[in-house]
C-alpha cells in the first residue's frame, strides 16, 4: 500500500534552477543557444559533415551558383568560388578558424582579465583609482583598432591574430571584474563578514565572488561576439588569416573580386558571421535577463 502524504510540500527551486527556468522562458535566447550548440557540433565533427576538403579545387565547377538557383547543382549545395572550391565545405571548415579560435581567445582574455580584475578590485585608494582611469583610457580605444595595432607590430597570420584579439579584449574583462568587485565591497554583507572575523581571501572567495560570477558569464558571452567580429574583420582586411584560408572573413575578401557575377561567395560567409554573432548576443541577453532578478 502506497504511503499517503497528508502534508503538501512546495518545492522551492534553487537559484541555479530559477535562472535556468527564466532563461528557457525566453524563446529568442533558447534559439540562440541551439545555434551555438550546433556550431560546437560542427567544430567537433567538421571532417564528417563537410562533403569535400576545404582546399580541393574542381576546374569543371567554377563559380557554380547555389543549388536553389536554376543553374545550380546539388553536388555543391552553396555553390563554388572562382577556383571551384565548395563553399559549404569551406564554411564548415572555417568554423574552426573563426568560431573555435574566438572561443580560445575569449578563454585566454577572460582568464587573464579575471586575475588582474580580481587583484585590482580588492585594492583601495590611489592604486585602485589609477588602474580604473587606465582601464577607462584603454576602453576608449575600440578593440578592433587595438587588435590592428598589435598585428601591425607582430605581423599577419592566425597566431598573431590570437595575441592581437586576446590582448585587445583583456581590458574589457579587467574592467568588468574590477567594477563588480569594487561595487560588492561597498555592500553591508561584506562589512558584516569583516565583523565576523573573515580575512581578505575568505571575503573575496566566499562572500564577493558568488555575486560576481554572473557578471563574468555575461561578459564572456558578449566578449565572444566581439572576438568573432574582430577575427573576421582582420581576415577581411588581409591582416589575419591569409589566402587560401577558409576563415570566414578571408572568404569574404577572396570573393569580393567576383561579387557582381557571383555574390554568393560574399553573402554566404557574411550571413554565417551575422547568424553566429546574433545567436551569441541572444544568449548573452537572455542570460542577463535571467540573472537580473537574482542580482536584485
Q: What is the pTM of this model?
A: 0.89
Specify the pLDDT at position 281: 93
CA distance 162 to 30: 29
CA distance 28 to 195: 45
Chain Cα centroid distance, residue 209: 22
Specify the pLDDT at position 9: 57
- Give, for 235, the enclosing helix (H) or strand (E): helix 213-236
Q: How many residues does the chain have?
A: 296
Are 206 and 197 in contact, with CB atoms under 8 Å apart? no
Q: Which three cell numbers stand for residue 143?
A: 578593440
Q: What is the pLDDT along the chain (296 residues), one digit of tens a residue?
A: 456 655 555 667 777 788 888 888 899 999 999 999 999 999 999 989 999 998 889 888 888 999 998 888 889 999 999 889 999 999 999 998 899 999 999 999 999 999 988 888 888 777 777 777 777 777 778 888 888 888 888 888 888 899 999 989 998 998 899 888 988 888 888 888 888 888 888 888 888 888 888 889 889 999 999 999 999 999 998 888 887 888 999 999 999 988 889 899 999 999 999 999 999 999 999 988 888 755 44
Query: Which of 14, 35, 18, 98 minimizes the C-alpha distance to 284?
Result: 35
Q: Which residues pair with 76 in a beta bridge?
A: 73
Specify the pLDDT at position 296: 44
CA distance 288 to 296: 12
Q: Which three cell numbers stand for residue 21?
A: 527556468
Query: Which of 221, 137, 109, 129 minimizes the C-alpha distance to 178?
Result: 129
Are 88 and 51 in contact, with CB atoms under 8 Å apart? yes
Specify the pLDDT at position 145: 87
Specify the pLDDT at position 135: 76
Q: Which residues pair with 86 in a beta bridge?
A: 80
CA distance 5 to 198: 43
Q: Which three cell numbers stand for residue 96?
A: 574552426
Domains of the chain, with CATH numbers? 26-45+80-291 (1.10.3720.10)
Chain Cα centroid distance, residue 159: 18
Neighbours of 36 (CB within 10 A): 18
Query: Which of 138, 103, 296 minimizes the C-alpha distance to 214?
Result: 296
Q: Which three cell numbers stand for residue 162?
A: 590570437
Amino acid at each position: 500500500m502506497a504511503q499517503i502524504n497528508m502534508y503538501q510540500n512546495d518545492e522551492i527551486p534553487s537559484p541555479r534552477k530559477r535562472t535556468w527556468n527564466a532563461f528557457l522562458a525566453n524563446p529568442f535566447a533558447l534559439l540562440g543557444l541551439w545555434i551555438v550548440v550546433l556550431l560546437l557540433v560542427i567544430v567537433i565533427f567538421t571532417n564528417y559533415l563537410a562533403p569535400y576538403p576545404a582546399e580541393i579545387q574542381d576546374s569543371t565547377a567554377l563559380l557554380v551558383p547555389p543549388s536553389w538557383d536554376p543553374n545550380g547543382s546539388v553536388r555543391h549545395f552553396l555553390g563554388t568560388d572562382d577556383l571551384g572550391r565548395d563553399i559549404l565545405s569551406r564554411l564548415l571548415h572555417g568554423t574552426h578558424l573563426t568560431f573555435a579560435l574566438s572561443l580560445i581567445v575569449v578563454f585566454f582574455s577572460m582568464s587573464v582579465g579575471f586575475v588582474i580584475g580580481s587583484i585590482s578590485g580588492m585594492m583601495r585608494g590611489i592604486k585602485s583609482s589609477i588602474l580604473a582611469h587606465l582601464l577607462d583610457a584603454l576602453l576608449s580605444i575600440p578593440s578592433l583598432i587595438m587588435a590592428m595595432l598589435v598585428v601591425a607590430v607582430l605581423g599577419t597570420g592566425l597566431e598573431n591574430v590570437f595575441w592581437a584579439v586576446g590582448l585587445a579584449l583583456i581590458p574589457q574583462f579587467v574592467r568588468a571584474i574590477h567594477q563588480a568587485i569594487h561595487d560588492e565591497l561597498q555592500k553591508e554583507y561584506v562589512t558584516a563578514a569583516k565583523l565576523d572575523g573573515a580575512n581578505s581571501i575568505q571575503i573575496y572567495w566566499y562572500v564577493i565572488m558568488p555575486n560576481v560570477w554572473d557578471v563574468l558569464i555575461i561578459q564572456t558571452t558578449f566578449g565572444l561576439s566581439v572576438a568573432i567580429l574582430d577575427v573576421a574583420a582582420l581576415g577581411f582586411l588581409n591582416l589575419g588569416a591569409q589566402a587560401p584560408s577558409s576563415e570566414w572573413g578571408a572568404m569574404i575578401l577572396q570573393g569580393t573580386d567576383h561579387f557582381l557575377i557571383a555574390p554568393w561567395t560574399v553573402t554566404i560567409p557574411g550571413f554565417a558571421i551575422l547568424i553566429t554573432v546574433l545567436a551569441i548576443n541572444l544568449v548573452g541577453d537572455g542570460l542577463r535577463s535571467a540573472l537580473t532578478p537574482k542580482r536584485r
